Amino acid sequence: MNTRNDLSAAALAASSSLPPEAAARTLAKAVTEAGDLALSMFRAGVRTWMKGGASPVTEADLAVDAFLRERLMAVAPDHGWLSEETADAPERLTRRRVWVVDPIDGTRAFIKGLPDWAIAAALIEDGRPVAAALDAPATGELLLAAAGEGATRNGVAIVASAVNSLRGARVAGSRSIVDQLIRTGMPLLAVPRIHSLALRFARVASGELDASLAAAHSYDWDVAAADLLVHEARGRLTTFDGAKPVYNRPQPVHGALAAAGVGIHPALLAALDMAAGKTGSSPRAGAREIAEP
């Protein structure tokens, strides 16, 4: 796959039957252009307000959402659409393929002028991602994945960590869950939480983290792109019960999730189960991901 500086405009001249690798190239072109738009607004400052009483949104979120919807739906108008910043429509449930987009994942970081935010987009087919692009404009990273084709960062193949022990494992995630593991004596190295959930999981795909955790109540748009990145990088991203997430359901909400390299993923799930038993509270029902770290 091409890097963010070597993307052909022909990537957008695709039909609704485009294969996963072509879909990934299409997403790459779209998210990098959307990333340039977001980065210009990031540097200039934007108007911000709260939605739903607890979650911030900015002019940039809406601008990127509109840009991606116009671009991606023009490529495949018969696909469904699901985005954090677009009112949900039941028509998506009738489509085998759905574009799933988070215009700016990590809006709080974006508002604070921090770099850990990203534009995440995925193509879902029959409930699972088959193409994904994650653009982190502030750090100059473009991560791509296509089903069966592996994952890359700026054109270079990435592989999840090969560590086979939780001892000293680098873990980022919901503070409540990580602290719960540490209190049970698990010898983990807690890494400061990354605001963007998609980036947090993507750091497992790139091998920079050994594991990442997310509390319950993340949404399809938070997870879908990173899910494919992790699996194509030979990692695992599942529920705490070991099941792969399913996307484009009537309620696009997920329970607690864990991502790790294949060497420690089973041990991580066992540790989470043990921590729940020792503390008497389930990490599956941890604090909402919208909470500040």
Residues 35 and 80 in one domain: yes
How many domains are there within the chain? 2
Which of 106, 130, 155 terminates a domain? The answer is 155
30-64 tens-digit pLDDT: 999 999 999 999 988 889 999 876 889 999 999 99
pLDDT at residue 293 greater than cutoff 90: no
The pLDDT, as a whole number, for residue 165 is 95
Residues 205 and 136 in one domain: no
Which of 155, 189, 207 terminates a domain? The answer is 155
Residues 198 and 139 in one domain: no
214-223 tens-digit pLDDT: 999 999 999 9
Residues 25 and 141 in one domain: yes
The whole model's pTM is what? 0.90
Both structure tokens of 257? 């999730």
Give residue 11's pLDDT band: very low, low, confident or very high (50, 70, 90): very low
The pLDDT, as a whole number, for residue 1 is 54
The pLDDT, as a whole number, for residue 10 is 42
Does residue 165 lie in a domain region? no
As separate numbers, helices (DSSP H) first and strands (DSSP E) second, the chain gives: 7, 16
Residues 143 and 251 in one domain: no
Give residue 280's pLDDT band: very low, low, confident or very high (50, 70, 90): low
87-125 tens-digit pLDDT: 999 999 999 999 999 999 999 999 999 999 999 999 999
Question: Taken in order 206, 208, 211, 214, is the CA torsion positive or negative?
Answer: negative
Neighbours of 190 (CB within 10 A): 15
Which of 155, 179, 213 terminates a domain? The answer is 155
Both structure tokens of 195? 């605001």
For residue 195, what are the domain limits? 170-285
